Amino acid sequence: MLYYRAPLGSIEVISGCMFSGKSEELIRRLRRAQIARQRVQIFKPEIDKRYSDDEIVSHSEQKLKAIVVKDTAQLLSMLDHRSEVVGIDEVQFFDEKVVQACKRLADLGRRVVVAGLDMDYQGQPFSNTRDLMAIAESVTKNL
């Protein structure tokens, strides 16, 4: 007897403090997926306007075009059902629904790669990053 098995997705979290190379690592992973001809969609919160309005940018000036969204609902509404890899930068700035959205995308077979600060200036964990680290298949903590 054959059983249907859902495609396996994953959540990868890249976290750490400011200037630790999180966005650079995110860009590296997403570029590799593009080189492998995978369908990649990249999102960033509209609050992040540090270097560019519509790109994720590393401190070493590497860039990738991104879709700017105000919240998780808008991210999900702009998601192309054909996307195989979903990248999210500055995940700590999203609402708390982003954690369940990432889990749902992974359950649907997507590779979800997020980058975000692990703690605020007072040393308190950002809940989105913390909660995603708890359910992720892979966690990279940059120091």
CA–CA distance from 17 to each of 22, 25, 29, 40, 140 (Å)? 8, 13, 19, 26, 12
Q: Which of 88, 127, 118 is nearest to 105 (CA)?
A: 88
Quick check: is 90 catalytic? yes
- Residue 127 pairs in a beta bridge with none
- At residue 23, φ and ψ (nearest 5 deg) are -65, -35
Name the active-site residue from 61, 90, 96, 137. Answer: 90
Q: Which of 48, 142, 45 is nearest to 87 (CA)?
A: 45
Catalytic residue positions, numbered = 90
